Structure 1
Amino acid sequence: MNIQRKGEWMEIMTPSEWNGYTIDYILRDIWQGPKKQIHQLRTEKAVLINGTQANWHQNLKIGDRIQIQFFNEQVFGVIPTYFDINILYEDDHLLVVNKPGGMDTHPNEPTQKDTLANAVAYYLQAKGEFRKVLHIHRLDQNTTGAVLFAKYSFIGAILDKLLEERKIKRTYLALTDGIMKKKQGTIDAPIGRDRHHPTKRRVSPTGQKAVTHYKVLNTFQNKNYSLIQCDLDTGRTHQIRVHLSDIGHPITGDTLYGGNPIFLRPALHAVNLTFIHPFTGEPIEVLAPFLDDPPIFPGI
């Protein structure tokens, strides 16, 4: 599909598969856009067809020029702060960043300036893109790897829905204490807060549903740990850490959940992120290289 950015406007030449559709149908049913934001586009006259204000219920023809004002300037919502960040993927609508260890994904208070979101805001500002920084998911402070950001609220809402529908696949690598005997399995155990610790979570029958699939990739007999791959059906706080600890194989370095303290952080890395681009329909697959120096993960 031919999609271009022209100033504040996204421009699409109507493809054959949209012939006879209305712009209302495309925004609501094809892109699954949120009602509130579709209404806002309509009231702000932010959609043009062939250079004139759109008739939202008129059938489109092949080659009609659709323009949507997605790229107007906005306040960042966080304080732009310089950090040297590793951009893994970027287009006009979204970007994926490789988060280092020891950094929060987003501020916990308005004045916080040392998070990945602050760094993304600075990066966009330096490019002349004034966007409200929207993280689609988050990683724990000491977990490294791929984090997806949206550049504006309409695409952000669509990506939020894809994440909720499990259409954004996140794959993690972890080192766990001990040699795992079962080579693959699924941990289906609800997770809730630990009443005795302000930040800790635990498996609890009254908690939220949480499902983690794991597969053993390698074992290290001499060091007594296993390298595993984890895929999530849900995204609960500390999910992988809690689940692996609960089955007796805490993540190495994860002292909060009983892991061997041989590393300065839990050996957990979001290595892969895959999804279908909401607008182009193209499959996006992003691999995040390891950033630890010295490296935590051996032989990879």
Structure 2
Amino acid sequence: MSQNKNSYKKFTYAIGKEEDGKCVKEILRKKLHLSRGEISHAKGEEDGILLNAKRVTVAHPVQEGDEVEVHLHERKEEEGKILPAKGELSLVYEDEDFVCLNKPAGMVSHPSHGHFLDSLANYLAGHFEEEGEHHKIRVVGRLDKETSGLILFAKSQICARRLFEQAQDGSRKKEYLALCAGFFAEKEGIVTAKIRKVPEEKLLREVHPEGRSACTHYLVEEQKEGYALVRLILETGRTHQIRIHMAQIGHPLLGDTLYYPSYQGQMKRAALHAALITMPHPFSGKPLRFEAPLPEDMKELL
């Protein structure tokens, strides 16, 4: 069991008959599912690891009826603040650990040059302020300004780290929907072209043999005249990966001025939407599924 108290994450576990005689460390690892790093972090705190409200070492044995309690405090150097602002949020899910939002196209995820008070993170900070909560905003996997759809924000450094680890081990999966130009002869496929930043360019990326490895799976969901609705799943998370890979195979995203500059249709932004996230809860392990319907500008073309 865990509890979020803004500046720290609290875990408790009641020792049963089957755990009698085991050491605290085994309870932390196997019952509370704490990582080695989290246990090391807790060791350095005055109230980090408690047994029946008293500080103990991880080698201490436990008995039936005992209660193990762990506090993982936010590190001082990780504290920070994003200015709160009032703005509309499309809340998909919220609990004591993280938030899932449906980001509209045209909004930046996090404050950046020219967007210090009108980012999704600013509006989320405003939401927390209204609720009387105090969290450092930690975006987990940013979306491009033009991209709509699902995005996660962790309420603690501990949760952010676990969400990052999920992305690394593949337990958190994200699917996108895009409108891509042309007729697809193959209804599904994999693109593995390497991607790098174009030298001396701020935003532009390109396929290059010296780039970083990248892998995109695509599946055509609906073929229209001149374009298709395509579902995309990433194995890697390179900047502009979907946009570059689909352009590379001759099917650039409608409205993508960077990688499809000749486009003259009605889409006013790259037609890309983060539609689905499936994941275990970062602490309880409960299976979670979040969905965001296609926005109107993409639905109009189907």
Q: TM-score range by the shorter chain?
A: 0.7 to 0.9
Residue 226 of structure 1 aligns with an amino acid whose one-letter code is A
**1:116 aligned residue:** 120
Cα distance change of structure 1 residues 219 and 279 upon mapping to structure 2, 3 Å threshold: same
Q: Alignment partner of 1:67: what SS?
A: strand
Q: Distance in 2 between matches of 1:70 and 1:123?
A: 24
Residue 12 of structure 1 aligns with an amino acid whose one-letter code is T
Aligned counterparts, 1:155-166, within 5 A: 155-166=159-170
Q: Distance in 1 between matches of 2:99 and 2:18?
A: 27
CA contact (8 A) 2:74 2:156 kept: no
- Over the matched positions of the two proteins, sequence identity in percent amounts to 32
Find out whether 1:33 has 2:35 as its counterpart.
yes
Q: Alignment partner of 1:244: what SS?
A: helix
Find out whether 1:275 has 2:276 as its counterpart.
no
Instruction: For residues 126-182 of structure 1, give each alpha carbon's deviation from its aligned partner in whole angstroms, at most 9, with x where no partner exists.
Output: 212211111121110110111111111112112111212222101000000112111
**2:137 aligned residue:** 133
The worse-fitting range, judged by mean Cα deviation, of 75-84 and 62-71 is: 62-71
Q: Distance in 1 between matches of 2:289 and 2:182?
A: 31
1:76: how far off? 4.7
Find out whether 1:86 has 2:90 as its counterpart.
yes
Find out whether 1:240 has 2:242 as its counterpart.
yes
1:289: how far off? 2.6
CA contact (8 A) 1:10 1:68 kept: yes
Q: Distance in 2 between matches of 1:287 and 1:162?
A: 18
Cα distance change of structure 1 residues 196 and 215 upon mapping to structure 2, 3 Å threshold: same
The worse-fitting range, judged by mean Cα deviation, of 165-174 and 38-47 is: 38-47
Find out whether 1:192 has 2:193 as its counterpart.
no
Find out whether 1:205 has 2:234 as its counterpart.
no
Aligned counterparts, 1:1-300, within 5 A: 2-4=1-3, 10-14=10-14, 19=19, 22-25=23-26, 27=28, 31=33, 33=35, 35=37, 37-44=38-45, 45-61=47-63, 64-70=66-72, 76-108=80-112, 112-195=116-199, 197-221=201-225, 224-258=226-260, 260-261=263-264, 262-290=266-294, 292=295, 294-298=296-300
Q: CA RMSD in A?
A: 2.9
Cα distance change of structure 1 residues 165 and 60 upon mapping to structure 2, 3 Å threshold: same
Q: Alignment partner of 2:282: what SS?
A: coil
Q: Distance in 2 between matches of 1:42 and 1:160?
A: 23
Q: Distance in 2 between matches of 1:72 and 1:21?
A: 29
The worse-fitting range, judged by mean Cα deviation, of 100-109 and 146-155 is: 100-109
The worse-fitting range, judged by mean Cα deviation, of 260-269 and 66-75 is: 66-75
The worse-fitting range, judged by mean Cα deviation, of 80-89 and 139-148 is: 80-89
Q: Alignment partner of 2:189: what SS?
A: strand
Q: Distance in 2 between matches of 1:154 and 1:17?
A: 30
1:205: how far off? 0.5
CA contact (8 A) 1:9 1:67 kept: no
